[in-house]
Amino acid sequence: MDHRLADLLKLMQLERLEMNLFRGESRDIGAPQVFGGQVLGQALVAAYATIDAQPVHSLHAYFLRRGDFTAPIVYEVDCSRNGHSFTNRRVIAIQRGEQIFNMAASFQNPEDGFEHQIPMPVVVPPEELTDLNATTAEQRAKLPERLRRSFERESAFEFRQVQQFDLLNPQPAPSLQQVWFRAVDKLPDDDMLHRCLLAYVSDYHLLTSSMRPHGIAFTSNKVMVASIDHAMWFHRAARMDEWLLYSIDSPSASGARGFARASIFKRDGTLVASTAQEGLIRVVRPS
């Protein structure tokens, strides 16, 4: 297995401290704080460790404080309900005695019922697009130092953007963006793992959609960006080592917050998940 993906899988393995208490490591991805998707994915792993075979169907989370990637994160799971059809868990992430994150997740035994979905947008296939991680040394040199490191880090996922957006010279653009993504190597046949990794990667690209209409890139020193909350619904099973399309739009920005929502499709058009997120997009005023 590719070393980048192997390291991510190691990151998603938590140490059990007590029956409902777990500890996880963090990784420096070039940001000043722990990547929100990492905490989201690890919290879901912790919740899964306290249930039987029910797959997750939804989660709702709040990011309360910046996480420190130099210190471990402790995850405390509250077994709110063990039902015949539905099971509910609440997870609190703690660092240095303070909550940095909390999440409620619901799990359901598979059932038959009505089926419908929205159609997948018609977009350029991933083979015709360039990997977003493939920035040149010349391009990276023009980025602020605080962001350059994030582009120099090796990613466990490929991202191929349909609507191009110049990070160095951003111009106002529609708030819609679509991104193909997949893991860089083959993954085990474990539905729980694929759902936890989907939660991990779902934190990418959402807030940047709220900034596009204003001609601001996340690389800018003029804006402070941070996730506030994150919701996710898992409709159908998917593999993270196959191409998935993240179709995102931002209906609103107000009060220094941007709101984005998205649908995630398999390549054959099957809708596998939906997400929604509100985040801080605060303009930094000169002191």
Catalytic site includes residue 95: no
Q: Say which of 175, 177, 178, 277 is annotated catalytic.
A: 277
Query: Which 3 state secondary structure label does DSSP give 217?
Result: coil
Catalytic site includes residue 227: yes
Sign of CA dihedral 104, 107, 111, 112: positive
Query: Which 3 state secondary structure label does DSSP give 193?
Result: helix
Alpha carbon 195 to its chain centroid, in Å, reads: 11
Give the N- to C-terminal CA distance of the chain in Å, as an integer.
Answer: 49
For residues 222-259, one letter each, b for 16 or more C-beta atoms within 10 angstroms of the residue's C-beta and e for the rest, the string is: ebebebbbbbbbbbeebbbbebbbbbbbbeebeeebbb
Q: Say which of 95, 175, 203, 250 is annotated catalytic.
A: 203
Q: Say which of 54, 227, 250, 263 is annotated catalytic.
A: 227
CA dihedral 275, 278, 281, 282 (to 10 degrees): -170
69: left (phi over 0), alpha (psi -120 to 50) or beta: alpha
41 vs 21, 167, 199, 237, CA distance in Å?
A: 16, 27, 5, 16
What 8-state DSSP symbol labels residue 19?
Answer: T
48 vs 25, 42, 165, 202, 217, CA distance in Å?
A: 18, 10, 37, 18, 36
Instruction: Tell how many helices (H) and how many strands (E) occur in the chain.
Output: 6, 12
CA distance 66 to 26: 13
* Residues forming the active site: 203, 227, 277
